[in-house]
Amino acid sequence: MNHRRCWPVLAILASSGVATAHAQLSTPLDSAMLAAFRWRSIGPANMGGRVTDVEGIPSPSKTFFVAAAAGGIWKTTNGGTTFRPVFDNERVISMGDIAIAPSDTMIVWAGTGEEDSRNSISPGGGVYKSTDGGLTWEFKGLKETQTIGRIVIHPTNPDIVYVAALGHIWGANRERGLYKTTDGGETWELIKFISDKAGFVDIAMHPENPDVLFASSWQRVRGPYFLKSGGPGSALWKTMDAGKTWTKVEGGGFPETMLGRIGIAIARSNPDVMYALVEADTGKGHTTRPSGLYRSEDGGGTWAKMASNNVRPFYYSQVRVDPENPDRVYWSSTPVNFSDDGGKTVRNATVGVHVDHHAMWIDPNDPEHFIVGNDGGIAQTWDRGGNYNFINTMPLGQFYAVSYNMEVPYRVCGGLQDNGSWCGPSRLASGSISNYHWYSINGGDGFYTEQDPYDHDIVYAESQGGNMARISLRTGERTSLQKPNWRQRWMVYEDSIIIDWPDTTQRPRGQLGRRINDLRSRQKADSIAMDLRWNWSTPFFISKHNPSVFYAGANRVLKSTKRGDDLRPISPDLTTVDEERIRISTQETGGITPDVTGAETHSTIVALAESPIRPGLLYAGTDDGNVWLTRNDGGEWENLTGRFPGVPNKTWVSRIEPSHHDTASFYVSFDGHRDDDFTPYVYVTNDFGKTFRSIANNLPTGGPDFVHVVREDPYNADLLFVGTDVGAYMSLDRGASWHRFMTGLPTVPVHDLKIHPRDRELIAATHGRSIWIVDISPLEQLTDAVLTADAYLFEPKTAYQFGGQFVGGGSTGHQWFESASPQYGAEIVYRLTSGGPRDTVSIVITDVKGDTVQTLRGTGGPGLHRVTWNFRGEAPPREPLGPAAKRDSILQARRVEQVFDSLKTEGTLPPMMLDRMKERILSGNTQEIFRAVGGFGGGGPQAQRGWVERPGESQPRGAARRAAAAQQRQPGEQPAAGERRPGRPGEPGAGGFAALANMDRSQLFDIFRALRRPGQRGFGGFGRGGQRGPIVETGDYLVSITVNGETMSRVLRVEEAGRAAGRSVAGGRIS
């Protein structure tokens, strides 16, 4: 293999007929045009994601809500069998707490902003209220509080609500403290304020007297290189008059040293018993740490320490009491601890369950039933923790980065917070993507992954702190990529010194002395250079010019020419080398409770890239604001820091994106949110970094739209994308103007974006809702000529014939995750500016000889339309029918007409869709109909249809169906994740049978049963006897459409999977 050749990616770009430079648009983009680009979820849901709260309605209800750290709110009404997301369209997605009004369970409150103050959390934006059981939400203020720890509602008056607002995590602000409303959120009173550095994190209300409350204040702050939990603002407070006056809880055995985070709970069965999980400093004169679980038996008057188990209090600190037994107490930690004797003896309550627990709901009417939430999702028990059910149907994966390979279909891999690294398919030949298609390749916290472009079995992954590995998916072999070690280098020099100076009792003199001094000097310098600092999320990549070349970033750039083996530095320390920041981040971070895990390790490289055009043109960015460039593979480095107007000093460099079109151009994004700065910073240079200009322009600045990533399209130099903490944006004029680009994508942090160069799809790694994909090929081709034309046929992407892959697993009933895969075949996209939705467009496909291979029908009307050709030619002519067959054919045609006339009367499906369905049945082509209805995936995030409350039952018909749907889907409620919605003119799916997604299979079978002749078996035999055309050969085909008398044609290339760039392990065609 000649490794000097281009990657398949570069070969694809070089051979593409698509122009790499476009005239910038002068025609404005309309929202309908952008809405035609719909994102699709591909999962996974195997691992869930961090859950911050779980709240349920007491039994016999089976309804509960799940609040995800960055994945919104999910609701189940059947005990967790199926879920639906209910908070996707709000401006924020980070969740802190949920509360359900005891007196009216249709009233639900949501406090946004996660309180578990780890390094990767997203900010919130106030509180929201629902009066219809969580289906629709109304913003109720407190936006600048940013983080909500707890919401408590009065037991009999739902208008009285208390909110523990923790405030900004990355800086001081006055909008924090304990808030109260008596009018359902119309107005708020700040009933307890501590300082601009301390807010409130927890509240507990007396179960028999709602005027008695305990609340804990917490002083904490984060920065780019530290966490400090604890301070004079942390305390436990009590009120006896509903918040009018407050008394600080002191003495009586309660810790008297500096305090940090405090979790509190009052026993429902005996309110004199209460517990506090206290973070407390050791203080002078103490030999043991006072942190731990405390118990009071007199309503908070006196306290006794019961247990010292209090790991990472900034991250956990939840405590709950069994509603029937005041001595059975649970408190969160890496596992959930529990005690049956008030804390005297401690046991693990979550053996075999994912670690790092943040949430717990105990059914007050059935304490055997509780649900825990952790970094891996939720687990439910019905026997008080004896056995658990892990519910993995919600795609809440918190991805940091994503990669792709060049298989057909391509594979995506990525790393997640506390859930390792996973890989799965971008699409399937048939069926839906489920958890069975995803597999884990590495453990720990996962971050970057890379995939060899030629050997599809080789994947690179890492866990926190730059612990990288090369993994063979074929053999399972895992090779750790060894970091350079200063101790090894030190001993190399030491051996040389001993060889030259064997008698160390004699002082070396003359030439020997000079040589020993030189070796000692080099030993010290080289050892310091090898003492590397690695970021929690270490960037690395394979060179696009040679897959054996591997780069990684510590505080220096490292290179290997042996696929990651034998890494060696090729740069000096590129950071500011701020010794104070380095010392704090590696030795002192955490505050009262030290938390030196490596998550804050600072003065490191966090952005690293190479030009896809020129080998050795490298770029590096650091977490302390430096940006560097080398044009000779590390021979010389140029510091570009300080050339970014408007960027504060030492602002984190979130991404560097080299241009695919010009070696002198590249993009840099900065992320200042760790300094409490949410400004979007995006810059470009066209002169190798001599000057930069901001292209953030109209990106939103009023919320958490700080930028995680910027990408340039490899085909269209004018087309840019950015991912922010609440979504994705695109620009078609090189950043002069930006447009929200989120049709189908929920509000979610987008931590990474990649563009697949062959399939022309944008891949988003979201930090809260797993992986999403959108086809952007038509977007890459947009010009003024396209937007002003009455009709336009886009250049089709090369289409690949490929087979399916066998996966294990079977049906799990309705408790499973699946996500719709695009239809198999060649996608044909066209745009119309006139006509009506009932109009149709004829699409003719001819071969190189000019013979018609297939004729398709697409929808008309203004907008973007997509039609999929399944690679089949026309069915062969049928044999002449005999007299009896002719008679049966006539009778069958009459029966079809009667059945479909009846269906139109019922109103189950749109008349136009019924006409098309009837046409397919009469022609014997029923395959497309069954494909549109899809599989039997029930409940929750279904792939093929909208939310169904009771998927185990066939759906009602006609007016009854519409009434039932109106009850199930409230105004503003979002469809389940990954579902396929009915097509609308101008949107994807309008050209197919997408409206059949509203029909379940039982209804479809009823239709075919009605059509079946007496004595007929099966559902085939209509019209032409169910014959289908053959799969066409590979090669070039001409696609033509005619609109208003004008014919437009494009060449469509069809290839087999094995002929795609790179080797495919899933070759073959569907027969």
For residues 195 and 21, the model is more confident at 195
Per-residue pLDDT, 8 = 59
Q: Are 147 and 173 in contact (CB under 8 A)?
A: no
Looking at this protein, which amino acid is placed at residue 614? R
Tens digit of each residue's pLDDT (9 = 90 or more) over 474-496: 999 999 999 987 667 678 888 88
Q: How far apart are alpha carbons 326 and 330 in whole angstroms?
A: 11
Q: Are 417 and 71 in contact (CB under 8 A)?
A: no
Residue 73 inside a domain? The answer is no
Q: Is the pLDDT of residue 205 over 90?
A: yes
Q: Is the pLDDT of residue 684 over 50?
A: yes
Among 214-223, 804-813, 920-929, the range with the most confident prediction by mean pLDDT is 214-223
Start-to-end CA span in the chain (Å): 33
Q: How far apart are alpha carbons 571 and 548 in whole angstroms?
A: 20
Count the alpha carbons within 13 Å of 604 in the hemisphere toward its beta carbon.
Answer: 26
Q: Radius of gyration of the chain from Cα atoms?
A: 31
Q: Taking each helix axis from N to C terminus, what angle separates 883-906 and 911-923, rounded to the nearest 10 degrees?
A: 160
Least confident of 241-250, 559-568, 869-878, 982-991: 982-991
Q: Is the pLDDT of residue 1062 over 50?
A: no
Task: List CB contacts of 543: < 8 A, sequence separation 6 or more.
Answer: 549, 550, 551, 610, 615
Per-residue pLDDT, 1000 = 55
The length of the chain is 1071
- What distances in angstroms separate CA 530 from CA 250, 525, 526, 573, 634, one per listed residue? 51, 9, 6, 10, 16
Per-residue pLDDT, 917 = 79
Write the DSSP assignment of 321-382 as a string of letters: E-SS-TT-EEEESSSEEEESSTTSS-EES-TTS-S-EEEEEE-TT-TT-EEEEETTEEEEES
CA proximity to 73, closest of 52, 59, 58: 52
Average pLDDT over residues 290-305: 98
Tens digit of each residue's pLDDT (9 = 90 or more) over 983-1034: 333 333 334 455 555 555 566 666 766 666 555 555 444 444 456 789 999 9
Q: Are 462 and 540 in contact (CB under 8 A)?
A: yes
- Domain containing 933 equals 818-1059
Instruction: Say which residue the tokens 């996707």 belong to.
Output: 88
Sheet hosting strand 40-43, strand order edge to edge: 40-43, 771-775, 761-766, 750-756
Per-residue pLDDT, 501 = 85
Residue 724 inside a domain? The answer is no
Per-residue pLDDT, 681 = 99
Q: Is the pLDDT of residue 459 over 70?
A: yes
Per-residue pLDDT, 895 = 84
Residue 914 inside a domain? The answer is yes
- Find the angle CA(600)-CA(601)-CA(604) to the nearest 5 degrees: 125
Q: Are 395 and 770 in contact (CB under 8 A)?
A: yes
DSSP run (H or E) holding 320:
strand 319-321
Tokens of 1055: 């290839």
* Mean pLDDT of the residues in the chain: 89
Residue 888 inside a domain? The answer is yes
Instruction: Say which residue the tokens 């007491």 belong to.
Output: 58
Q: From start to end of 224-273, where are the E strands?
A: 226-229, 235-239, 247-248, 259-266
Residue 707 inside a domain? The answer is no
Q: Taking each helix axis from N to C terminus, what angle separates 883-906 and 1001-1011, rounded to the nearest 10 degrees?
A: 140
- Find the angle CA(564)-CA(566)-CA(572) to the nearest 5 degrees: 95
Question: Does 484 sit behind a cis peptide bond, omega within 30 degrees of 0 on the bond before it?
Answer: no
Residue 835 inside a domain? The answer is yes
Tens digit of each residue's pLDDT (9 = 90 or more) over 179-196: 999 999 999 999 999 999
Per-residue pLDDT, 13 = 55
Q: How far apart are alpha carbons 774 and 407 in whole angstroms?
A: 18
Q: How far apart are alpha carbons 837 and 982 in whole angstroms?
A: 13
Least confident of 324-328, 497-501, 532-536, 1017-1021: 1017-1021
Task: List CB contacts of 336: < 8 A, sequence separation 6 or more.
Answer: 330, 348, 349, 350, 353, 357, 360, 372, 385
Least confident of 230-234, 801-805, 920-924: 920-924
Task: List CB contacts of 396: < 8 A, sequence separation 6 or more.
Answer: 45, 48, 49, 50, 51, 68, 71, 377, 768, 769, 770
DSSP run (H or E) holding 192:
strand 189-192
Residue 931 inside a domain? The answer is yes
Q: Is the pLDDT of residue 426 over 90?
A: yes
Average pLDDT over residues 143-158: 98
Residue 334 inside a domain? The answer is no
Tokens of 565: 């083996």
Least confident of 560-574, 773-787, 843-857, 888-902: 888-902
Cβ burial of 31 (10 Å; 0-12, 13-18, 19+) is exposed
Per-residue pLDDT, 177 = 99
Model confidence, pTM: 0.90
Phi and psi dihedrals of 496, rounded to 5?
Answer: -65, -40
Residue 117, SS3? Answer: coil
Average pLDDT over residues 796-811: 88
- Strand-strand pairing, 467-472 and 329-332: unpaired
Confidence of residue 940 (pLDDT cuts 50, 70, 90): very low
Residue 109, SS3? Answer: strand
Looking at this protein, which amino acid is placed at residue 560? S
Q: Is the pLDDT of residue 830 over 70?
A: yes
Phi and psi dihedrals of 53, rounded to 5?
Answer: -160, 150
Tens digit of each residue's pLDDT (9 = 90 or more) over 225-284: 999 999 999 999 999 999 999 999 999 999 999 999 999 999 999 999 999 999 999 988
| DSSP code of residue 562 | B
Q: Is the pLDDT of residue 434 over 80?
A: yes
Among 827-831, 925-929, 1044-1048, the range with the most confident prediction by mean pLDDT is 827-831
Q: How far apart are alpha carbons 535 and 586 in whole angstroms?
A: 11
Q: How far apart are alpha carbons 54 and 371 in whole angstroms?
A: 7
For residues 927 and 630, the model is more confident at 630
Look at the chain and report how many structural domains it folds into: 2
Per-residue pLDDT, 915 = 81
Q: Is the pLDDT of residue 1 over 50?
A: no
- What distances in angstroms separate CA 44 from CA 159, 195, 978, one per listed residue? 39, 42, 11
Secondary structure (H, E, C), 59-100 = CCCCCEEEEECCCEEEEECCCCCCCEECCCCCCCCCEEEEEE
Q: Is the pLDDT of residue 461 over 60?
A: yes
Q: Which residues on adjacent β-strands are paired with residue 371? A: 361, 380
Q: What percent of the chain has pLDDT over 70?
A: 87
Q: Is the pLDDT of residue 833 over 90?
A: yes
Q: Is the pLDDT of residue 715 over 50?
A: yes
Tens digit of each residue's pLDDT (9 = 90 or more) over 99-146: 999 999 999 999 999 999 999 999 999 999 999 999 999 999 999 999
